[in-house]
């Protein structure tokens, strides 16, 4: 079996799909690994580090694709990249729930097998494959650091001979993996932290980290069977907006993380809410890639509105590419183990079509589109 690792070409993407330690593992099982030249440089992995564990270095993307039975990527291949992929190859990557008709038609012409890692279900057996959790954890940490850099004040209380500096107030909207890490990081840096989430079950997690939970008094279920947040009713949104408006008036740093798989990001912070925020306060909108949680957010840009900075970074995990690539590599390697078997002393591509993880992530088999749901269940 032959696996190719490609250099990521999307803007601001510094990660690589497989690290040298994971390459060593698969080479040890008899798999041939081909790595495009310089694929790991932005993650701190030299070509020599791959060669030293048995990988072959390819001088171009075309060469790497032509060697592959399986292609491993961080981000989905672009349309130009698909043109380079031979027929009947298997692609494993993060497609970010982005399946437009034109793109799918292009994949179909190549009779490809395509597996979308963002669709790994949230079950115990799949935890080691969960790229959303591993990457969101790092992104939540990075969001706080970026926010602190953009602020004009410190987070912790400081007592000096010249007077006392009061701690900053941080509000985190969305207490999933990224939100919880943001809460923990802001608390470690000395801020007073509050958090909001549509799922009442998040209250205990938020409070265990020392933050105050902002709660809407509502019996409506706020999550899918798979543990993801879902779209709420207009009545709920009105109650939520009233509570958040008051919280925003007191916040120096706001981090928003609310996303619904396969849908545009819910608009939670309106222009009117920003109007009443303190001067020099900062919003880090982690949902910018899907349109943003703030009405004023612009992807990969900083907007200043009445003295409030709104930042819309779209790939925070990639800014920590060393750690992010190591975790992603372990995720994708664990997933790959489901798809191979040992036959006659060698590794063969043999995915179990009845495995619930395989079924959830496979959206194309031999060029035929599989059933797609709005979100993993």
Q: Which residue of the set 133, 136, 281, 321 is catalytic?
A: 133
For this structure, is 133 an active site residue?
yes
One DSSP character per residue, 63-110 reads: HHHHH-SEEEEEEPPPHHHHHHSPTT-EEEEE-TT---HHHHHHHHTT
Structure tokens at 227: 């543990």
Q: Which of 17, 80, 96 is nearest to 289 (CA)?
A: 96
Q: Using CA atoms, how far apart are residues 249 and 88, in angstroms rounded to an integer?
A: 55
Q: Using CA atoms, how far apart are residues 214 and 206, in angstroms rounded to an integer?
A: 10
- Which residues sit opposite 223 in a β-bridge? 229
The boundaries of every CATH 3.40.50.720 domain in the chain are 2-119+338-369, 138-319
Residue 374: predicted pLDDT: 44
Give, rounded to a whole angstrom, the gap between the first and last alpha carbons of the chain.
31
Residue 371: predicted pLDDT: 66
For this structure, is 122 an active site residue?
yes
One DSSP character per residue, 318-351 reads: GGGHHHHHHHHHHHHHHHHHTTEEEETTEEEE--
Q: Which of 17, 18, 36 is nearest to 27 (CA)?
A: 18
Q: Which residue of the set 65, 119, 228, 251 is catalytic?
A: 228
Q: Which residue of the set 122, 153, 188, 365 is catalytic?
A: 122
Q: Which residue of the set 52, 60, 127, 208 is catalytic?
A: 127
Q: Which residue of the set 130, 136, 318, 325 is catalytic?
A: 130
**pLDDT 10s per residue in the chain (377 long)?**
999 999 999 999 999 999 999 999 999 999 999 999 999 999 999 999 999 999 999 999 999 999 999 999 999 999 999 999 999 999 999 999 888 889 999 999 999 999 999 999 989 999 999 999 999 999 999 999 999 999 999 999 999 999 999 999 999 999 999 999 999 999 999 999 999 998 888 999 999 999 999 988 765 555 555 555 556 778 888 888 999 999 999 999 999 999 888 789 999 999 999 999 999 999 999 999 999 999 999 999 999 999 999 999 999 999 999 999 999 999 999 999 998 888 777 888 888 888 999 999 999 999 998 865 544 43
Write down the CATH number for the domain with range 138-319: 3.40.50.720
> What class has domain 2-119+338-369?
alpha beta
For this structure, is 228 an active site residue?
yes
Residue 234: predicted pLDDT: 80
């Amino acid at each position: 079996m032959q696996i190719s690792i490609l250099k990521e070409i999307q803007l601001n993407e510094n990660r690589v799909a497989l690290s040298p330690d994971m390459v060593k593992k698969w080479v040890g099982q008899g798999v041939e690994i081909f790595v495009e030249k310089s694929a790991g440089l932005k993650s701190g992995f030299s070509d020599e580090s791959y060669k030293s564990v048995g990988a072959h270095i390819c001088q171009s993307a075309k060469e790497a694709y032509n060697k592959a039975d399986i292609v491993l990527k961080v981000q989905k291949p672009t349309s130009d990249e698909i043109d380079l992929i031979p027929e009947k190859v298997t692609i494993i990557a993060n497609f970010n729930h982005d399946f437009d008709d034109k793109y799918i038609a292009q994949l179909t012409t190549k009779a490809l097998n395509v597996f979308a890692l963002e669709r790994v279900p949230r079950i115990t057996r799949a935890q080691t494959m969960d790229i959303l959790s591993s990457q969101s954890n790092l992104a939540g940490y990075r969001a706080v650091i970026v926010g602190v850099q953009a602020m004009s004040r410190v987070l912790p209380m400081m007592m000096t001979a010249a007077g006392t500096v009061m701690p900053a107030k941080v509000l985190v909207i969305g207490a999933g993996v990224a939100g919880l890490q943001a809460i923990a990081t802001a608390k470690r840096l000395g801020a007073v932290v509050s958090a909001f989430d549509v799922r009442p079950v998040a209250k205990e997690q938020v409070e265990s980290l020392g933050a105050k939970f902002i709660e809407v008094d509502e019996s409506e279920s706020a999550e899918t069977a798979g543990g993801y947040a879902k779209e709420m009713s207009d009545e709920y949104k009105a109650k939520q907006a009233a509570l958040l408006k008051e919280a925003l008036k007191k916040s120096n740093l706001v981090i928003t993380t609310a996303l619904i798989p396969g849908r545009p990001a819910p608009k939670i912070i309106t222009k009117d809410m920003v109007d009443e925020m303190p001067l020099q306060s900062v919003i880090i909108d982690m949902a910018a890639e899907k349109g943003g949680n703030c009405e004023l957010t612009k992807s990969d840009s900083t907007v200043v509105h009445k003295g409030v900075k709104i930042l819309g970074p779209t790939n925070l995990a990639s800014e920590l590419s060393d750690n992010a690539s190591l975790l992603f590599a372990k995720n994708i390697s664990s997933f790959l183990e489901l798809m191979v078997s040992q036959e006659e002393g060698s590794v063969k591509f043999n995915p179990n079509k009845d495995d619930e993880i395989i079924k959830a992530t496979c959206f194309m088999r031999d060029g035929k589109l599989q059933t797609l749901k709005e979100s993993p269940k």
